Structure 1
Amino acid sequence: MKALIVDDESHARSLLSNTINEHLKGIEIIAEAENVKEAVKIINKNNIDLVFLDIEMPNENGFALFEYFDKPNFVTIFCTAYSEYALQAFEVSAVDYLLKPVTISKLQEAIEKAIKIKGQNQILQSVSTLRDNLSVKQLQKIALPLSDGLLFIKIDDILYFEADGSYTHVITTKEKYLVCKKIKEFHELLTNDSRFFRVHRSYLINIQQIKKYSKKDGATLVFENNKVIPVAREKKNEFDGYIGDISV
């Protein structure tokens, strides 16, 4: 894969380039750029497969790169020193990223993933979703991996996630989707999002979508689609305290 490194810091570019050259095969660093305009010129003159892109750069940030291409034919791996919340935004937006300082193992993992997804031209949607998620304090959208690509849905529209072995049913206000991802992975993605609570080993629910909470004959939740979901006995006290805290 022919690669381009875009970063305004020369030291960061050299460090990443040297790491790739020393430890990774099959990746050829064609050029380096210190800003977006320079990167655009290089991409237009070369058949670039992979771009390592810093986000925080003066004048134009990394997101501006995608304003110059209607249909980018290169895979992008963002290099970032963002906070924990921002990393969560990267995850749910289905955007590949490396956390600075870059480690060899994470670099290999990101490149392997990039090779697999090359040709799935959804980077513009992913970047748009990432920008939305980074612009506010709460995540706005999540990318669902489907058999034919990625589906981007509003997080507020999710009623609940329901486990089904290695799959998860994602139930929204409009549709129901079957996703090849365990509910544990969604729980980890949304663990810092106050809208979601794992009330049962099989259910991760959006507390904003609860229509009724009944404590009769065991705790149950009723949602707008009239689905009744049990609250596990061992989760009840924690859940009671949680909804009490956020309703204050």
Structure 2
Amino acid sequence: MSYKVIIIDDEGRTRSMLKKMVSSTNFPLKIVAEADSVQSGIDVINEHNPDIVLLDIQMPDGSGFDLLDRLRHRNFEIIFVTAHQEFAIRAIKFSALDYILKPVEIEELESALENAIDTIQSKSDLSMRYETLLENLKHSNKRVVIRTKGSMYVVDLKDIIHCQSDRNYTYFHLTDGRKIFTSRTMKEYENVLSLPDFIRCHRSHIINFNHIERYERGDGGIIVMKNGSEVPLSRQSKDRFMELLESL
């Protein structure tokens, strides 16, 4: 079985480069179409029903997000291809979607394609992540998608009390008492859960400032959260934490 791929980018040189890179991989992929604008992208997606779309963010007649918003059916995996745009990248990360930066490196493309194929094979709910992305773009990143082995959870940021790492795994502690376990590392979430609401207070913990009950002084100290969890504060993070706490 070959997975159908569409490349959408307004730069002909970038499309040619991506075609060569995709064709050089060992994945069972077939490039079925390409497009150079939002409208032509919508047309080829509707015509070919792709499995994977490599999608530029900025195009002359709109953005890749506009394209997504205008599609009635989003039953394919997207890899965004973009120059560095902090807000757009943060929104993509919040939605557990993939992106690669220009100029494109073959290793990054191969990794993104492998993730896309794994997601397709797991029959994950793709539309849920796209809805989260579009909502976050409109409302400044209010929700995050957490991938687990068998599911994807859409979680409001305000409902995350704290995150705890256990080697290469992360536990999310939520206000409703649930704990969501994911095989993604704390480092990946540190780039998503950031100030002003979140801070990494210890190498194994990220906390939500809105759920702090009290701070107990000590060498580093202990942060007691509203759910009763006691989170250690490292000496390296103490000055920054105290500065932020006093500014609340």
What's the TM-score, normalizing by structure 1? 0.83
In the alignment, is residue 169 of structure 1 matched against residue 171 of structure 2?
yes
Residues 178-187 or 194-203, more deviating:
178-187
Tell me how far 1:107 sits from its aligned partner: 0.8
| 1:12-38 CA-partner distances (Å, limit 9, x unpaired) | 222222332345553222111122332
Q: Name the counterpart of 1:209.
A: 211
**Counterpart selection for 1:126 from 101, 116, 129:** 129
1:155-194 aligned at under 5 Å gives the runs 155-181=157-183, 184-190=186-192, 192-194=194-196
Change (3 A) 1:222 1:89: same
For residue 190 of structure 1, give the secondary structure of its aligned residue in structure 2.
coil
Change (3 A) 1:204 1:51: same
Conserved 8 A contact 1:196-1:207: yes
For residue 59 of structure 2, give the secondary structure of its aligned residue in structure 1.
coil
Q: Name the counterpart of 2:17.
A: 15
Q: Which runs of no fewer than 5 residues in structure 1 stay unpaired?
A: none
Q: Name the counterpart of 1:149.
A: 151
Q: Name the counterpart of 2:66.
A: 64
Sequence identity (%): 31
Q: Which runs of no fewer than 5 residues in structure 2 stay unpaired?
A: none
In the alignment, is residue 106 of structure 1 matched against residue 108 of structure 2?
yes
Q: Take 1:104 and 1:186, find their aligned partners in 2: how far apart are those partners?
A: 21
Q: CA RMSD in A?
A: 2.7
Change (3 A) 1:37 1:233: closer
For residue 58 of structure 2, give the secondary structure of its aligned residue in structure 1.
coil
Q: Take 1:81 and 1:113, find their aligned partners in 2: how far apart are those partners?
A: 21
For residue 106 of structure 1, give the secondary structure of its aligned residue in structure 2.
helix
| 1:192-240 CA-partner distances (Å, limit 9, x unpaired) | 5332222233321112221222327972222222333332345433422
Conserved 8 A contact 1:89-1:139: yes
Q: Take 1:40 and 1:191, find their aligned partners in 2: how far apart are those partners?
A: 33
